[in-house]
Amino acid sequence: MDDIFDAKKFSGTLGVEIRNKDLFQEAVTHRSFLNEHRGYKLEHNERLEFLGDAVLELVVTDFLYRNYPNPEGDLTSFRASIVNGEILAEIAGNLSLGDFLLMSKGEAKDMGRARMWLLANAIEAVIGAVYLDQGYDAARVFIEKNIVSELPRVIAAGLHTDPKSRFQELSQEKTGITPSYRVLKEWGPDHDRRFTSGVFLGDHLVAEGEGASKQEAQRNAAAAGIKAKGWA
């Protein structure tokens, strides 16, 4: 099992000097991998993800406070836009994080939205590993270089606006119909619940979105609806 994780290559990919190899290997270990490898010596990455999520939010919040004179409401929207699953998964993809993920054979075959969430969770776990391995300043540098740097693009594209409000505004303007939302699917254990919601115009399903809460799933459905309608 010692050859399943190339710490030297991972270090080069992240641009981070790895001191504790086990921390970073754990950061890319999905829960499903343990089910197929009972003798695996490390834990899955959910605890590191929990820690990394908090570090990420603090770094982004601090950066916004220091660099953007906007009111609190704007700052909250900016932060939400840069720490959401789709953006984090995109950044994880740019870092080739998927090449290092340790997961079950079934998870490895899934290249859809489930893979996106797996990547987003993994980059949060990596942030947690950087924080534990080298401290807050190293984590801040990593986050500002790889995540905060995307803020200007995200803001310029209007991705910081609430997609539900935007979709409702556009649908009423263009169709005269107020959108509605329905939960289409719900799965997972209580500590890791997932939802798929659909956004409808009348009885017509426009798009679907997935999230860790019904609200997040609705926001993602609305964002997908704007794209599906060509209203972006």
**Residues forming the active site:** 53, 124
Closest of 136, 178, 114 to residue 51, by C-alpha: 136
For Cα atoms 19, 22, 27, give the angle at the middle one, nearest 5 degrees.
105
Question: Do the Cβ atoms of 46 and 129 come closer than 8 Å?
Answer: no
CA–CA gap between residue 80 and residue 160 (Å, rounded): 7
The DSSP symbol for 68 reads -
Give me the amino acid identity at 43. Answer: E
* Two tokens, residue 169: 């505004």
Encoded amino acid at 148, one letter: V
DSSP SS3 for 4: coil
**Residue holding tokens 């979105």?**
209
Task: Give the number of other Cβ atoms within 10 Å of residue 205's Cβ.
Answer: 15
